[in-house]
Every structure is written in C-alpha cells, then in structure tokens.
Amino acid sequence: MALMRTITGPSDLKGLTQGQVVSLAEEIRAYLISSVSQTGGHLGPNLGVVELSLALHRVFDSPRDTLLFDTGHISYVHKLLTGRHDFSTLRKQGGLSGYPSRAESDHDVVENSHASSSLSWAIGIATGRKLRGETDRHTVAVIGDGALTGGMVWEALNNIADQPDLPLIIVINDNERSYAPTRGGMADYLASLRATQEYEHVLSWGKRQLSRTPMVGRQVYDTLHGMKKGLKDIVSPQGMFEDLGLKYLGPVDGHDVEAMETALRRAHDFGGVVLVHVLTEKGHGYDPATADEADRFHAVGKINPETGLPLEVSGRSWTDEFSDELVRLGRERDDIVALTAAMLIPVGLQPFAERFPDRVFDVGIAEQHAVAMASGLSFTGMHPVVCIYATFLNRAFDQLLMDCALHRQGVTFVLDRAGITGSDGASHNGMWDLTLVGIVPGVRVAAPRDGQQVALALRESVDIDDGPSVVRFPKGSVGPPIEAVRRVGTLDVLRDVPAEGSTADEAPELLLVGVGSMAATALQVADKLHAEGRRVMVVDPRWVLPVSPDLLELARGAGRVAVIEDNIVGGGIASAVSRAFDDAGVDVPVHGYGIPQEFLDHGSRDQVLERIGLTPDAVATSLSARLV
C-alpha cells in the first residue's frame, strides 16, 4: 500500500504518472478486498469504480468541484482518495459510514443512500452556483445504469435539457446492474450503445487486416463499413441523449484510466452539460465477485478474501419465511403476482420468480410506478404483492394513498428491513412506515412476531381484496416461534402469569403490547416486572392497524397500557392506540416506547437500540417508575 499511504487528498493524485495511477488502482482494489472482507459492506460495486474514481479526482478539483454519487454505496474509493484510510470500523458505530457523510468530509455532499436523486441535486447545485456567479465550479453526478430506471432521473433530465450551458457533467456508470442485472427499455438502450462500441472495435480490426491479409481484410472492412449507417440508425437513431440537447461522450472503458481522463477533461472543458457514458464491470479484478457471482457480492458480510465464501453462516431469515410462503401461495392461487423495484433477490422473490417467471415484475428503481402498476393489476382481478424495503415505501406513499387505497384495490405490501437495520445508517432504517401507512384510510397492517406469524400474516393478507394491506418484518435471522398462551378475539396473549400473591382473575396493572419483532422485548420486560411483583399481561395484536376492538376491551380492565414498537413514536402504534382509546372512551394511560424522531447514526442494531433506550432493561426501568 506504499502509494495509497501517500494520498491524503485529491491534490496528491495530480502529479502521478499514468503508470503510478495504474499501480495505485491495484493497491486500492487489493485494500478493498482485504478490508471489506473483514467488516462487510458493498464490495462488488466499489471494485467496479476504482479507475473511474481516480480519473474523477485527477480531472476535477473536489471539494471546489462537487462530486455526487448515486447511489452512495459506490463512494468507498472516493473516501480513500480523500484521506479516509481506516476502513477497520466501516459501517460500525463511531467508524466510517457506508455512504457519503458530511460529518466525515467536506468532499461528501449527498448522504441519502436512496437512488435516482443525484441529477436533481446536481442541477440544483449547478444552478445555484450560476446565480451566485460561480460558473468556474463544476458539478459532477455519477449515476449507475440501475439508478437511471428511476423516474426522478427523467424529470431531472427534462429540466437539465432546458439549461444546456450549465457546467454540469453526468457520468453514467454502466455495469449493466443495480443489485441484479438492470432490466427495461433504458437497459436495452444502453446495451445498444455498448453494441455500437463493439462494432467500432470490429471495424478497427477490419482496418488492421487490410495490411496483413488484404483480400480478407478488404472484404470484412467493406462489409462492415457498408452496414455502419444502417446499424447505427437501428441501435442509436440520432442518439436519444443528443436529441435532448445533451452532449454525449462514449462509451468509454471505465477500467482504462487514461481513456477515462481524456473523456472527463473533454467534458470539463466543454462549457456546458455533458453526459459521459462509462462501461465498468461490477467486482472488477476480483474473480469471485464477477460473472455469475456479481449479485452475491453487491453487499457482503465477513468473507474469506481468497475464496469469497462467507465466514459467518447466518440462520434462517425473516425474508426466507416470507419467500417460502409466497411460493406455497403461488402454487395454490394463480392470481397472485409479485412486484419489486430492482431488489428481486434481497426481498426474497427469486424462488417465486424461478417457479412463476411470468408472474414477477422487476420494474427497476421505480417504487412509485410499482405501486401504481400493482393497482392496475388488482383492478383486473389479480392480487399483487409489492415487495420493497420499509424505508423505500417513503417514495411510493402518494401511490399507496391515491392510486391504491382511494380505489380500494387489493394489494399486499411486504416491507422487508422494517425497524432498526443498523449498519447502513440513517436512510436505511425502516422506522417511518407505520406512521405513514397509519394515515391511509382502510389500510390493514400486520406486524408478525416470528417466522410462523410471517407466513400466517401473508396468507391472511392476500385474502384482503377491498384495500391495501401491509406485512412488515425486520432484517436478519428470525428466532424461534413465540407461542401464545391463549387467544382473545384476534389477539394473541403471550404472557398471562399473575405475580406472586395475586389471583389469576385479577386485572393486570400493565397491559404490555409488543409490536412485531418487539414482542420478544415485551416478554423480557414482563419478566423483569414480574420479578418485582407486578401483574403484567403481554399481548401481540398481530394486526396492529386498525386498532382491534379486542385490545380496547382488554385495556378497560388494566391499570396502564404500554406499547413497544420499532417505529418512530410520533404517529406510530402507540399513538393509534391512544387515539382509539379516546374515541371509545377508554380512560387508561398509554405509554409509547419506540424510536425517537431523529436520524440515527450507523452501528449494529443492538448498539442503536441501546443508544435510544429501546432495550428490555431501559423499558422495564421506565415502566417500573410509572407503576409506583
């Protein structure tokens, strides 16, 4: 790592020879493989942008020129080139974020890890600087071909095309993938541009043959040259980007630093909006992370750097439970279809897609479109299951409200990674979904407490055909089933043990409601309070919205009610319970324990829960004081 240690900022790159830059790229790639294999993180995407990141920082002057990354998980090399060399605590509490972070460096601007927003940021920054007379400062947005599938990109491009004199460079990092292979018309168009480049290579080969085997070479060259105009008209009719008024450069080999620098300097000196199309390979330079294994190396846990095999074998996940049940339901019902926004594998749809390929729709990074399309599918009599991360529901709220709920379309939303996800930081925590869906008329929301309940909730959800339903569950391994001791209407009573000296028919001092995966926490809280002689009943509503009348009846006989949830407290289930009590005239205090209304720094899930006081000890201590 001799060269890399000398790079404390982008200015140190300017004087390197091309040979040194190539050596530095090799060092960075080796460092990424070694370090990320120990911490986990987005390995494949960053291996693919080593040379691109070097070229960007050699041509542009960050932070005076602004570099934006879409999505931000491709910023690891950028971090190294801006002096952040300690990756030993990457994505850990107190360590480097897995995304750009303003707290870490002036070189970082946009922290949000959601895709397709960079061009809107870019035109905003470039326009603001133009209005301030700072026209000598460039704005560069690096955006993946996967992110180009998001509709927000095209809204921004429409606006950018109207201001072609802005010093704005759009770099398309085209590796043919988002998480998995990029699909759709945009992907096909970029493929056509790659085909044009391949054609030019073949044409150049034909020219070279003229001097070696004149007869064969001339035949090849004449044939290909005669095809040239027709081929280009087919694959790139006048150029879609140029038709928008955007200067287009490329395609450029994204692993040839010299070619990259030449293209970026031309873009830098052009004096207006330029789109640079760069071809990269996800996982480049690391055999286990390329070809058929690229999807597995998009984001990794701890791995053996030599083999790429995981060092930690995780147990069965919440996603696995959903995935298996959806396949079973698919066999039983041919009206069930599934949609996802470029996350087929992470949300567990791959097995369903293999079994029912015609009933799965990966719409790209376009959550809004996915929900509106699902509403249309529902209208025809199908039952769509929309599978996305809980945090990405934020983007599709309008469609959930106005396209799905308003029209009472039977659509099931499966929200993976609900609650605290931890290491991916503020933008990935699924902590807003219950608040958002809580204001949607007619919605039903299930929060299963274990794997068995995931399957049951999904089965019940797809039977709802008069409005949207939601099933949410967290990230990670699922624990053993939590058995109910009895059923009260639609509720599961998980603990109904009277304290020592009391009788079974005495009303509980505390009715403790565990929402979803927090049911396990609620049981631990109850253990601690039972040890103090408190009478505590623990219930799992299963369907948390709308608030069950059965919960209202149980609450009438309790001294207090407490709700533990992994959603922000404001507008969450505790708020809904309190409102329902007011409406029904239930005069019982309600205490809410959940996530504070703030953005949470990255760390492990347990560390984040400890920091916000959402642990059994912290909740039990608080409730013990309230029960005095």
- Read off the pLDDT of each residue in 71-95 and give the average, rounded to a whole number: 93
Q: Check the annotation: does 221 bind a ligand.
A: no
- pLDDT for position 299: 76
Which is it for strands 510-514 and 560-568: parallel, antiparallel or unpaired? Answer: parallel
Structure confidence by residue, pLDDT tens digits, 304-314:
777 777 777 67
Both tokens assigned to 392: 């990405």
- pLDDT for position 582: 96
Number of H helices, E strands in the chain: 22, 18
- pLDDT for position 203: 47
Cβ atoms of 590 and 561 within 8 Å: the answer is yes
Q: Check the annotation: does 429 bind a ligand.
A: no
Cis geometry, peptide bond prior to residue 181 (ω within 30 degrees of 0): no
Given pLDDT bands bounded at 50, 70 and 90, which one contains residue 424? Answer: confident
pLDDT for 231 beyond 50: no
Q: Check the annotation: does 73 bind a ligand.
A: yes
- pLDDT for position 195: 57
List C-alpha distances in Å: 357 to 146, 353, 377. Answer: 21, 5, 16
Domains of the chain (ranges; CATH) run 2-297 (3.40.50.970), 318-472 (3.40.50.970), 486-626 (3.40.50.920)
Q: Check the annotation: does 113 bind a ligand.
A: yes
- Read off the pLDDT of each residue in 438-467 and give the average, rounded to a whole number: 98
Check the CA dihedral 364-290-68-238 and report its sign. negative
Distance of CA 394 to the CA centre of its chain: 12
Quickly tell me which residue has 């090849």 as its tokens: 220
pTM greater than the 0.85 cutoff? yes
Cβ atoms of 404 and 431 within 8 Å: the answer is no
- Read off the pLDDT of each residue in 269-294 and give the average, rounded to a whole number: 84
Q: Check the annotation: does 145 bind a ligand.
A: yes
Given pLDDT bands bounded at 50, 70 and 90, which one contains residue 237? Answer: very low
Q: Check the annotation: does 225 bind a ligand.
A: no
Structure confidence by residue, pLDDT tens digits, 135-180:
999 999 999 988 988 889 999 999 999 999 999 999 999 987 655 5
pLDDT for 605 beyond 80: yes
Q: Which amino acid belongs to residue 190?
A: L
Total Cβ atoms within 10 A of residue 116? 26
**What percent of the chain shows pLDDT beyond 70?**
87
pLDDT for 64 beyond 60: yes
Distance of CA 613 to the CA centre of its chain: 26
Q: pLDDT higher for 291 or 387?
A: 387
Distance CA 414, CA 387 (A): 5
Distance CA 119, CA 305 (A): 35
Q: Check the annotation: does 175 bind a ligand.
A: yes
Within 60-184, residue ranges assigned H as helices are 76-81, 118-131, 151-160
DSSP run (H or E) holding 200: helix 185-210
Cβ atoms of 378 and 369 within 8 Å: the answer is no
Q: Check the annotation: does 55 bind a ligand.
A: no
Structure confidence by residue, pLDDT tens digits, 453-499:
999 999 999 999 999 999 999 999 999 999 999 999 999 999 997 65
Both tokens assigned to 354: 């293999």
Q: Which amino acid belongs to residue 594?
A: G
Strands (DSSP E) contained in 11-89 are 66-70
- pLDDT for position 114: 81
DSSP symbol at 147: G
Distance CA 513, CA 138 (A): 54
Given pLDDT bands bounded at 50, 70 and 90, which one contains residue 183? Answer: low
DSSP symbol at 497: P
DSSP 437-496: HTTSTT-EEE--SSHHHHHHHHHHHTT--SS-EEEE--SSB-------SEEETTEEEEE-
Both tokens assigned to 248: 């287009």
Total Cβ atoms within 10 A of residue 328? 12
Active site residues: 282, 367, 395
Across the chain, mean pLDDT equals 89
